[in-house]
Copies of this chain bind each other. A is one copy, B any other.
Amino acid sequence: MLSEFDLIAQFFTRSRRQHRNVALGIGDDCALVTPAAGMQLAISTDMLVEGRHFFPGADPQMLGHKCLAVNLSDLAAMGAKPLAFTLALALPEARPDWLAPFAKGLLALADEHGCELIGGDTTKGPLNICITVFGEVPPGQALRRDAAQAGDDIWISGSLGDARLALAGYRGDIMLDDATQHTAGERMHAPTPRVELGLSLRDIAHAAIDISDGLAGDLGHILERSRTGAILDVDQLPAGPMLARHALEIRRRFTLAGGDDYELCFTAPSGKRDAVIAAASSCNTAVTRVGSIDAAPGLRLRDANGAPLDLPLASFDHFASP
């Protein structure tokens, strides 16, 4: 006798060919994966909770996309090639009109990156989505947080702060017109993981991290683990197109400590500037040089004139309601 929750699996069942590395997918006690010879496996897990990481009633198709996107973003930040993922899902009730679009958004992004759903678990409970993702990276080529070196440039992919602007709009902290709210909202709800960029930076970059909690805090993790400091040119930070229309103070705050950007922050030797630009160009991703790593401890901020800036910063805090 199949229960309602057993039937959920049908929404995630694919007919197409399995990934060459997947020897056994959904339906047994475990999935079986055969890693390519000599490759390391990169593994990351993220849990998204309703009311904390996304709004109650969030669009299920964008939510499906986002749950996998934030995990793929972790692979991107290691320079790992996506391979497979597991999905554990707690749902208050098994509603087809929620499950179908959720699976659609999730699996469309999975297909885009050749990342196969190999197992999972579904249960009744407060809405909670936990994905664990697996990727491959050649030994020694992973972009680790502890690999930044004094003299490295600091680079940012894409743009920052539009997701944070959308949040400010939803909260009523900043009044946004409908079109701006919608466009910024898509940036918040359906981020683009920079997987291709991460792969193309393997032989070029030293350290990398994905910006999920805000640039200042996430760059801080690189500095801490690499035992280095940095100077950041705050007014060089690439503001998102919606945020770019706002005042300097808002731009600085949201690019530095916005959260939910899912861009890459990476460091690379200054002798590799052309290589960085060529790599980014090859995957149609903008990159901006925004500072440099040095030996002096701490993160020091500079304005457009090179003068020190003292800004109160706080990363995105999971205690605060979204």
Contacts and interface: CB of A to CB of B under 8 A. Distances in A.
Nearest to A317: B3
Nearest to A75: B30
Chain A interface residue count: which class? Answer: 35 or more
B23 A40 contact: yes
B3 A46 contact: no
Interface in A1-56: 1, 3-5, 23-24, 27-35, 37, 40-47, 49-53
A46 to B, nearest CB: 5
A139 interface: yes
Given A34-B139, A47-B88, A90-B128, A123 B318 contact: yes
A126 interface: yes
Contacts of A89: 47
Contacts of A80: 30
A49 B123 CA distance: 8
B88 A125 contact: no
A121 B46 contact: yes
A44 B32 CA distance: 9
Contacts of A41: 32-35, 41
A210 to B, nearest CB: 6
Residue from A24, A52, A84, A89 whose CB has the most chain B CB atoms within 10 Å: A24
A124 interface: yes
Residue from A31, A34, A43, A123 whose CB has the most chain B CB atoms within 10 Å: A43
Interface in A270-322: 314-315, 317-319
Given A41-B33, A128-B90, A128-B128, A52 B319 contact: no
A124 B34 contact: no
A118 B30 contact: no
Nearest to A28: B145
Contacts of A225: 27-28
Contacts of A75: 29-30
Contacts of A165: none
Contact of A42 (B31, B40, B52, B128): B31
A46 B47 CA distance: 13
Contact of A27 (B118, B145, B314): B145
Interface of A: 1, 3-5, 23-24, 27-35, 37, 40-47, 49-53, 74-75, 77-78, 80, 84, 86-90, 118-121, 123-126, 128, 130, 132, 134-135, 137, 139, 142, 144-146, 208-210, 217, 225, 314-315, 317-319
Given A27-B225, A128-B130, A130-B130, 17 more contacts: A23-B139, A24-B144, A28-B145, A28-B225, A29-B145, A30-B44, A31-B44, A33-B41, A34-B40, A43-B119, A43-B134, A45-B132, A47-B121, A47-B130, A52-B124, A88-B130, A126-B126
